[in-house]
């Protein structure tokens, strides 16, 4: 005859202790998720570069982190809060030469350009030279640049060789810019000679570093309200060829531009 084993007693404190441990684990995950979302929306936000308007500083296929603390928080800093934040809070003015993300006031799209004109500035292009308050920026010709873009219509890459220069702004900011394709005469396009633009209060003037291949304040964009600023681009974190996507792991050996990983944006 087999004597049945007595049921093992469960300490009264075991069940609550296990439940408390599970709750703490869930709470820790919730805190981590909230912290990540807060960091992503309030501190640094990732953006991808879809076009070549900022080449050679930023290439199509670059992914950048944008500091949302740089200019304070405004109507376009957080999704769905544009009706709450009518103007920027903790506002800080951009500096001439900053590479900034902002919302196009006409279309609502995110744009990334270089800020070249601040309120009160007088901006003009004179035979290819950016002129700020009557002072031409210094520009030095360097080696030509081969721009590589992806043509969605024909599903193929195409390359264009462009004039490349190093530009120095009046405040000392230096960066590279591109001109028209080398098959054209230098500084021969309409956007190389413009009227003078007086930047109104509360606005800024933005241009792409790919000067003759950028829809910017000279060509349709116009002046941009400071309240439309999203943040300042501070670092590239990954970079892929324009026809590729970061999640295509099987293509990494051929499509990753490793030399552009984790590079500062100037």
pLDDT tens per residue across all 266 residues of the chain: 444 444 444 444 555 555 655 555 565 545 444 444 444 555 689 999 999 999 999 999 999 999 999 998 888 877 666 556 667 787 789 999 999 999 999 999 999 999 999 999 999 999 999 999 999 999 999 999 999 888 777 778 889 999 999 999 999 999 999 999 999 999 999 999 999 999 999 999 999 999 999 999 998 899 999 999 999 999 999 999 988 877 888 888 889 999 999 999 99
134: left (phi over 0), alpha (psi -120 to 50) or beta: left
CA distance 64 to 81: 23
pLDDT attached to residue 39: 47
pLDDT attached to residue 25: 59
CA distance 57 to 52: 9
pLDDT attached to residue 6: 46
User: 261 phi and psi, to 5 degrees?
Assistant: -70, 135
Annotation: CATH topology of 47-264: Umud Fragment, subunit A (2.10.109)
CA distance 115 to 266: 12
* Planar angle of CA 7, 10, 13, nearest 5 degrees: 170
Give me the active site residues, please: 53, 113
Q: Which of 133, 146, 135, 125 is nearest to 194 (CA)?
A: 125
pLDDT attached to residue 5: 45
Report if pTM > 0.85.
Answer: no
């Amino acid at each position: 005859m087999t004597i049945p084993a007595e049921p093992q007693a469960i300490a009264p404190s075991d069940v609550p202790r296990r439940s408390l441990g599970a709750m703490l684990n869930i709470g820790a995950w919730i805190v981590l998720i909230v912290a990540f979302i807060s960091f992503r929306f309030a501190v640094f936000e990732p953006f991808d570069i879809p076009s070549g308007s900022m080449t050679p500083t930023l290439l199509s296929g670059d992914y950048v982190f944008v500091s949302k603390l740089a200019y304070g928080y405004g109507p376009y800093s957080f999704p769905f809060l544009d009706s709450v934040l009518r103007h920027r809070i903790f506002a800080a003015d951009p500096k001439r030469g900053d590479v900034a993300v902002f919302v196009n006031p006409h279309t609502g799209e995110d744009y990334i350009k270089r800020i070249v004109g601040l309120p009160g500035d007088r901006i003009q292009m004179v035979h290819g030279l950016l002129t700020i308050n009557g002072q031409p920026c210094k520009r030095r010709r360097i080696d030509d640049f081969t721009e590589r873009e992806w043509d969605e219509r024909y599903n193929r890459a195409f390359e264009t060789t462009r004039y490349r220069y190093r530009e120095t702004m009046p405040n000392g900011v230096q960066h590279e810019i591109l001109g028209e394709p080398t098959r054209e005469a230098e500084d021969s396009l309409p956007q190389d000679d413009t009227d003078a633009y007086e930047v109104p209060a509360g606005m800024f003037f933005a241009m792409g570093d790919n000067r003759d291949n950028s829809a910017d304040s000279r060509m349709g964009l116009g002046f941009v309200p400071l309240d439309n600023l999203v943040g300042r681009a501070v670092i590239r974190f990954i970079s892929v060829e324009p026809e590729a996507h970061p999640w295509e792991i099987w293509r990494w050996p051929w499509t990753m531009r490793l030399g552009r990983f984790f590079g500062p944006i100037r």
